[in-house]
A and B are shown apart, each in its own frame.
Chain A
């Protein structure tokens, strides 16, 4: 369509681009610029070249925060994507009357993460928490723990909460994808004598490969950006056992006023997340041909 005036298309675009440029694009550039400086946020800004990046490469705490987030991502891939896939498989065996089940499993996705975090801090509470109480009822007192205060269990405990929330989310994505699988394909396999497990393993899962790739992308890039649960439940503790990049850089910038160093870490994290996103987009673009062949 031809605009009445050449300027018209821009007039429609300006408000959105102005807000986006002001609150996202400009700060992205400035964060990148800060990463080459030493600055406490209000005093004099000193240009230090790539010193912050060198420091980040040598910072054990920063490296550990990546190790922690990788462990977290590995656990959540199992607890969110794999469990979600299995739940979706279960539900898709018989679709009738499964709404109540999907509602029950999906509900946590609706809640603010802070609510989830406070609730689960109670579940893990060592005085009256649900988990220790359940172990006691089952006669398994030996397994009782200060779940969030023990360096060997804190990271896993937080990851489990993430699984509790997002398993239902991925189940929903996969359930929708399963419903797209043509019924003829399933009926044909069934006539050939395939059981439900074989149907799931050999037909349904391969046919929703794209959805699984997208889910993995979401789980991994989302994992790198994790913050809410960790901040509320442990804030990096005990003894840094659950320190992840974002809790660490928030501390560096807002507690210790190392704006320059924090920005450098933020840039590193951004490169990882955007890089993974670009790789996955490319892989997913190639996928359709592979499936056909």
Chain B
């Protein structure tokens, strides 16, 4: 099938028949161009707010007001540096890295162990525990955050990093266990039995056979767990008041209320937070799309 042919049909007619296939070269090129143009227009409309954000970060307040669409007259990263240092964006980013890193590690380790147990053993209470975790796939944050917050206050966990690492781990586990179990279920039992005959302990079998086999699954789980921890807002808002511990979402909110009228600086902060995500996305685009779709289609 030629691409050109499909575009022509898409653009205009509903009643094309096979005989139209002859001699359509020239008009179809135009349709092809139009099609590409349409895609470009859609992409630009979607992308424009982000371009505007980056352009505005190089402008002064008066330039932002007077000529919102104009390109910046000079590219000066001074405001970016200022936002990063004075505005604590660096600190927020570091906090996000620590919280996200710890949560993802915990999710991978605890999730893989639980999936291994569910997949390889038959034991009393197995269905009950699997059912409870499956419930976690359906339960919204709203079903537990009120009691969780009073509990964390009583245990004096609030305003520590644990207040985020613990719930992020707990929230990520159900899906992680579910997905990793699917991976492990596909592995033939003989592989494990063989290791058992060779005298390997359960822990050894988990560490040297199950974990390496799980690597692609772990990568997928790591991606969607990392993104949801990195972007989580409600719990971070409720549990962390100490500015030195804030993650990017709540930190940025604090930043925007502190510099409420310094638009250039705000746009700089937004750009600093956004650009690395775009770069990461472009580099790992395939894995991220897989991870996010697997993470959502639960």
Contact = CB atoms under 8 A, between A and B. Distances in A.
Q: Do A and B come from one complex?
A: yes
Interface of A: 1-4, 6, 8-10, 12-13, 15-17, 19-31, 33-34, 41, 87, 90-91, 93-94, 96, 98-101, 103-115, 118-120, 122-123, 127-130, 133-134, 137, 164, 167-169, 172-173, 176, 187, 190-191, 193, 195-198, 211, 214, 218, 221, 224-225, 227-228, 231-232, 245-246, 249-250, 253-254, 259, 262-263, 266-267, 269-270, 273-274, 277-278
B233 A228 contact: yes
13 contacts: A17-B132, A23-B144, A25-B132, A30-B147, A111-B277, A115-B252, A187-B1, A196-B7, A246-B234, A259-B146, A259-B150, A263-B147, A270-B142
Q: Which 9 A-B pairs have the closest CB atoms?
A: A196-B10, A30-B147, A23-B170, A27-B144, A12-B117, A16-B114, A9-B121, A27-B147, A270-B143
Nearest to B3: A94
* Residue of B149, B189, B230, B293 most packed against chain A (CB within 10 A): B293
B43 A10 contact: no
B117 A173 contact: no
A221 B137 CA distance: 12
A24 B113 CA distance: 19
B296 A114 contact: no
Nearest to B32: A94
A255 to B, nearest CB: 12
Nearest to A253: B146
* Residue of B106, B111, B117 most packed against chain A (CB within 10 A): B117
Contact of A23 (B7, B69, B169): B169
Contacts of B289: 106, 172, 176
Interface stretch (B45-53, B74-82, B212-220): B45-53
A128 B65 contact: yes
B46 A24 contact: no
A115 B293 contact: no
B10 A195 contact: yes
A266 B140 CA distance: 10
B270 A115 contact: yes
Contacts, number: 296
B138 A90 contact: no
B27 to A, nearest CB: 15
B238 interface: yes
Given A15-B113, A119-B53, A227 B144 contact: no
A130 B49 contact: yes
Interface of B is mostly: helix
B123 A127 contact: no
Interface string B5-48: 01101100111111000000000000000010011001100111
B170 A137 contact: no
Contacts of B280: 110
Contact of A1 (B7, B143, B192): B192
Given A41-B150, A101-B39, A114-B249, 9 more contacts: A16-B113, A98-B39, A115-B248, A118-B270, A173-B296, A211-B297, A246-B142, A250-B234, A269-B143
A34 B146 contact: yes
B82 to A, nearest CB: 17
Contact of B65 (A24, A127, A176): A127
B46 A221 contact: no
B202 A8 contact: yes
B49 A123 contact: yes
A130 B273 CA distance: 20
Contact of A249 (B47, B142, B250): B142
A208 to B, nearest CB: 12
Nearest to A211: B297
B180 to A, nearest CB: 11
A19 B133 CA distance: 11
Contact of A196 (B9, B53, B173, B206): B9
Contact of B144 (A28, A106, A115, A245): A28
B228 to A, nearest CB: 11
B114 A12 contact: yes
Contact of B138 (A9, A23, A278): A278
A22 B173 contact: no
Contacts of B148: 23, 27
B3 A96 contact: yes
B170 A225 contact: no
B233 to A, nearest CB: 5
Nearest to B11: A196
Contacts of B249: 112-115, 228
B9 A195 contact: yes
Contact of B196 (A1, A104, A173, A232): A1
Contact of A274 (B64, B121, B138, B227): B138
Interface string B197-211: 000011001100000
B139 interface: yes
A122 B53 CA distance: 9
A176 B174 CA distance: 24
A163 to B, nearest CB: 10
A113 B150 CA distance: 26
Contacts of A31: 143-144, 146-147
A266 to B, nearest CB: 5
